[in-house]
Amino acid sequence: MSTRRTVNLVTLGCARNEVDSEELAARMEGAGWDLTDSAEGADVVVVNTCGFIDAAKKDSIDTLLAAHESGAKVVAAGCMAERYGAELAGELEEADAVLGFDDYRDIGARLDDVMAGRTITAHAPRDRRTLLPISPVDRHASAPAVAIPGHGAEPDLPEGLAPASGPRVLRRRLGGGPVAPLKLASGCDRRCTFCAIPAFRGAYVSRPPAEVLEEARWLAGHDVRELFLVSENSTSYGKDLGDLRALEKLLPRLAAVDGIERVRVSYLQPAELRPGLIDVLCGTPGVAPYFDLSFQHASGPVLRSMRRFGDRERFLELLETIREQVPEAGVRSNFIVGFPGESEDDFEELAAFLEGARMDAIGVFGYSDEDGTEAVNLPGKVDAGEIARRVEDLSALADELTAQRAEDRIGTELTVLIEGAAEDGGYEGRAEHQAPEVDGTVLVRGEGLATGSLVRVRVAGSDGVDLVADPA
Distance of CA 155 to the CA centre of its chain: 22
Backbone phi and psi for residue 442, each to the nearest 5 degrees, phi listed first: -120, 125
3-state secondary structure 273-296: CCHHHHHHHHHCCCECCEEEECCE
The DSSP bridge pattern shows strands 466-471 and 454-463 to be antiparallel
- Cα-Cα-Cα-Cα torsion 314, 320, 325, 330, nearest 10 degrees, comes to 90
Backbone phi and psi for residue 252, each to the nearest 5 degrees, phi listed first: -60, -35
Residue 318's closest CA among 287, 293, 299? Answer: 293
Q: Which residues does 193 contact at the CB level (< 8 Å), separation at least 6?
A: 305, 306, 307, 373, 374, 375, 378
Q: Strand, coil or helix: what is 101?
A: helix
Strand partners, 74: 45
* 282 annotated to a ligand binding site: no
Q: What is the DSSP letter of 237?
A: T
Q: Strand, coil or helix: what is 319?
A: helix
Q: By 3-state DSSP, what share of the chain in percent is helix, strand and coil, each rounded to 5? A: 40, 20, 40
Known binding-site residues equal 14, 50, 79, 188, 192, 195
Known binding-site residues for [4Fe-4S] cluster equal 14, 50, 79, 188, 192, 195
